[in-house]
Amino acid sequence: MIIRPIDTIYIGLLSLEIFITLLIGSYAYRGYRDLRDSRLLNLHLGFTVIGGGLLVELTIFIVTHITRPFIYMLIANYVSAIAQVLGYLIIVIGYYRVPKDQMLLSTLGVSTIFPLMTIYLGSSILIIFILYRVLVNYVISRDRMLIYSISAFTLLSLSYILLSIGVARPESYLRFIGNFIRLLGFTLLTYSIYRSSRG
């Protein structure tokens, strides 16, 4: 079995993303305990779900390099993508106060029949909704720390657009560029939540 350098980079990026998403969840929960802001609880739940989906994708990606069954890798991509949609949906609920049961059930039922490209685009659209609310909060509060969140969600939205194109063009490097930009977004968001939770 030969692991290509590009595969090693991909495994490294996914590993960092998993670590950072779970770190975001941890900081968000710590902030929720101190500030009792329900949006931070939704951030904790959302990024824990996202990190779990990425962990499934990484695990199956490594296994497929031993057995090479394409179907398992495809399943891993769907599990990860759906987990990301659900994770961002939880965050959107925190900002928009949408009834949770209704939104979660309807999205879970619909997202499983959409192709992977549509799921990534759905993630990008959900992030745009989050970005809008963060922009509104910044205009009202003028909190400079929100600039990091605005930058982070902008990068995350762009990354999912690139990932969706990368699914349609697997021979390109767009998927790896998308993963790298998503990693930058997660890193910025981690810093923002860490600073905010420390007051």
Question: What tokens does 29 get?
Answer: 């929960």
| DSSP H helical ranges for 36-115 | 38-67, 70-96, 100-111
Q: How many domains are there within the chain?
A: 1
pLDDT band at 134 (very low <50, low <70, confident <90, very high): confident
Rounded to an integer, the average pLDDT of 81-107 is: 67
Contact 161, 179 (CB under 8 A): no
Contact 21, 54 (CB under 8 A): yes
Model pLDDT, residue 143? 81
Spatial distance between the Cα atoms of 157 and 172, rounded to a whole number of angstroms: 19
pLDDT of residue 53 exceeding 50: yes
pLDDT of residue 128 exceeding 50: yes
Q: How far is CA 20 from the centre of its chain?
A: 10
Model pLDDT, residue 107? 47
Widest pairwise Cα distance in the chain: 56
Q: One-letter amino acid identity for 31?
A: G
Print the domain residue range for 172: 5-197
44, with CB counted inside 10 A (0-12, 13-18, 19+), is buried
Q: One-letter amino acid identity for 191?
A: Y
Q: Percentage of the chain surpassing pLDDT 90?
A: 9
pLDDT of residue 116 exceeding 70: no
